[in-house]
Structure 1
């Protein structure tokens, strides 16, 4: 009698899959790091596949950086925000390990590196397009000059790099012609000159943060941003889409009239600019028809006139902060006619009444989020609030005290002075 012997196959089904297909499978595990870990521990082949697939890395300990980068040789996005001590030698390790694969690095919570480490990084990682150096309070113009060697850089964050001056920004402007985003928030030694150099050399800028650059006088120098700097931006970067000039006390309506030439502007933040008024904002409404996000908190001279202009010309507006403005029931009702308006913050409006607020809320058909002062809650009928919530709106009630000016103590701390100093 003839018997059939069963032959067992020890082939791994994954052997028949291309690396591209396996990478696609691993892409579905991005939200579950433990699943990827389990995959890599299955066998040596999976271990190798997973190490080549990983593109993003956020190491927990700086001392293990060399070993980790050796394990993952194709990292494109390196996040070092949980490694507070990153020295120049560690940046040298990164440059040697990642080379041209690295596209972005986040050093916003790291310190102790200098221009030497940055120079090593950008010279080897010449495909870098994003660098975040926020909170680099010890970085100076030499560091900015090192960054200028990153010729392909598109996004640069320098928030609170308070030792960098116009000279350093000039180096960046000359070297990084492809910049599309730059953040100079709290860079207190930057003046109109630095902004003018950026506008002259970096024509591709789409997003610019110049907030908290109030004019200060140091010896014979006058530092800070004025209408001249903003005018240079509008002429040099006509395709600007996002700009933040909050808390600049020398910015006036002239700046807003200049910005109205940027027809692609989508986001405008001018909170804490006491010298802008409805005249400037009306010019923005007419010239910037694509405006979607507007923050005019503590712009005390903006009133109903500007709201009427926004209602007529800014039909793409989705989010607005009106806190502390001089807007009344009339202005808020006019604004309610903007069909795409979804998010509105209304705190400390002296001319606003419960009846006016209720009417405006009923008129805002697409509203999804409203931030109001808690004092209004008992003054609006519960049935009305329930009706609006049933249509998808979420109310956030705030019980904040009225604040007129920004904390001067905060300015002293950011400028590197003791809060108790005279």
Structure 2
């Protein structure tokens, strides 16, 4: 048969096709067609990521031969591990950086003798020597990388533009070497680099600060206002700043606000900042588009008044646990920032929703003072609202949701969690009025039942994501209505629905062929029959969680694995997986509890 594709399409056209494929599975399949496709598919990948695998120098070189990447990411820890490491590092914050790095170097030597799989200086040098066009490097919780390795890498990769050192044991010498060798860096992440001091960041700012556009610093106890003053003086192009620190005071942020007037994104969690710092931001950072304030005890409405007066381009505002801010301050921002479209209010007990017109997205999290009257105002004034998130707002009920449904007919995303006063009436109104709804999550809302989902199934044909986990009143009738009316459904969470039976899964198999991700854990009435039918009809399934389903046995798991060739993850009890299934698909099976 004549090869018309290779004779017709140029390299650039094939590369673009590979880039548009939506799954790694499809790309891998294409790379096996011929040598040309293998080579071009490698060129189409912009990022290569290594996990906790024994990555030797030779392995790095093999990857470099096939993938001419501009971005490399090495992630040495899961989120849970990172959290534990972060806590441990805060506990030993008084240790000197020299001692810690010495200990890291000894650890490297010891690990190399024992054949450890941890990424170290040797691997970093191999990356620098192999990926000659590297522009972006992420080293996440790579505790065996030291100043020596980072310096050697920087000398080889002088075209580097982005560097993420989150959780690495690097110190001032390493960061200074990066600044001296890689003058084009515009993105620098130093979160949890607790070995750094002012010296390292100051030297970096002096050498490469002119191109820096994004800087992140968190839990670096020895980085103080001295560093921020140099950032303000030498990093005039800075557009994004994220600070999580107990050692930063007004003096440092004042210097940044005055010197970095192109600032667009500012995220702060600094307990020692006061109104004076935010007033400076309002006076100098006139291009600010996103402002996030977390856990501030010293800010008052004076800060929001300054932001509203000066930052007319503000589009996104997050206020989390800011106890001394009130409706008055929020009104200043709403009145002075006509482009404000997204607001998240989390645990700010003195804030309501007065004056929030024109929003496209609103998040109200743990706001006990938000009641039905406040949501009624949103429904009346925010006709362009597209996304609403409500979490633990105990005073909000059906009346408020009905007002949202009638007034915000462009709503596309609705997430409600643990709002126990919301029941069928409110969700029925959503189904009747919000025809564009594509994402609905109503987790642990005990009063919502089948009637609500029947309305969604009849009125929201564009629904793609549905999460009804923990809604105990929902049974087969509601899920079957979704299956009949929402053919574009791709993600579904029906966990902890005790009334659900195989009938619902059979209808889902018939009506939702695009389903990719399903969670059916803790559904006691589901059996192998329903699961097998679903697996045979939903050929695009990639992820399935089904722990604590006593009606599903190893036969059902085997059928799921063999029927769904695109499957990437199955979460199940270990004893339900046969040896044959382990051999066939062990890499995609995850165990919640290995001892069951």
Do the two structures share a fold, i.e. TM-score over 0.5?
yes
SS in structure 2 at match of 1:196: helix
Aligned residue for 1:385? Answer: 582
Map of 1:125 onto structure 2: 311
Superposition map of 1:5-84 within 5 A: 29-32=161-164, 39=183, 47-50=209-212, 51-61=235-245, 63=249, 64-80=252-268, 82-84=269-271
The count of aligned residue pairs is 363
Displacement after TM superposition at 1:285 (Å): 1.4
Do the aligned residues in 2 keep the contact of 1:158 with 1:187 (CA within 8 Å)?
A: yes
What's the CA shift string for 1:307-326, capped at 9, x where partnerless?
01111111111111101112
Matched, 1:348 2:551: no
Instruction: Find the residue that maps to 2:243 and give its secondary structure.
Output: coil
2:483–2:511 contact (8 Å) kept in structure 1 = yes
Match of 2:417 in 1: 211
Q: Distance in 1 between matches of 2:310 and 2:381?
A: 16
Query: Is 1:304 the equivalent of 2:502?
Result: yes
* Partner in structure 2 of residue 332 of structure 1: 531
Kindly indicate whether the alpha-carbon contact (under 8 Å) linking 1:131 and 1:156 is maintained by their aligned counterparts in 2: no
Q: Unmatched 5+ residue regions in structure 2?
A: 1-157, 166-174, 186-202, 213-234, 342-359
Q: CA deviation at 1:79?
A: 1.9
Deviation track 1:303-346 (CA, whole Å, cap 9, x = no partner) reads: 11110111111111111110111211011111212111101101
Query: What is the correspondence of 1:105-116 to structure 2 with a 5 Å cutoff?
Result: 105-114=291-300
Displacement, 1:132?
2.7
Bigger shift: residues 176-185 or 286-295 = 176-185
1:246 to 423, 439, 443: 443
* Equivalent of 1:357 in 557, 566, 569: 557
The TM-score with structure 2 as length reference comes to 0.54
- Alpha-carbon distance, 1:258 to partner: 1.7
Using the alignment, how far apart are the partners of 2:159 and 2:467 within structure 1?
37
CA distance in 2: counterparts of 1:347 and 1:341, whole angstroms: 17
* Structure with more relative contact order (C-alpha pairs < 8 Å, separation 6 or more): 1
Q: Is the 8 A contact 2:432 2:456 kept in 1?
A: no
Provide the C-alpha distance between the structure 2 equivalents of 1:361 and 1:197, rounded to a whole number of angstroms. Answer: 45
Compared CA separation, residues 328 and 277, structure 1 to 2 (3 A)? same
Query: d(CA) in 1 for partners of 2:399 and 2:299?
Result: 27
Q: CA deviation at 1:106?
A: 2.5
Rounded Cα–Cα distance in structure 1 between residues aligned with 2:595 and 2:399: 38
Pairwise CA RMSD: 3.4
Q: CA deviation at 1:209?
A: 1.5
Q: Distance in 2 between matches of 1:158 and 1:121?
A: 21
Alpha-carbon separation, structure 2, partners of 1:193 and 1:36 = 58
Pairs within 5 Å for 1:403-414: none
Cα deviation for residue 349 of structure 1 reads 0.7
Residues 144 and 172 in structure 1, CA contact (< 8 A), matched pair in contact too:
no
Deviation at 1:400, TM superposition (A): 9.1
* Partner in structure 2 of residue 281 of structure 1: 479
Separation in structure 1 between the aligned mates of residue 375 and residue 550 of structure 2, nearest angstrom = 42
Aligned 8 A contact 1:144 1:169 in 2:
no
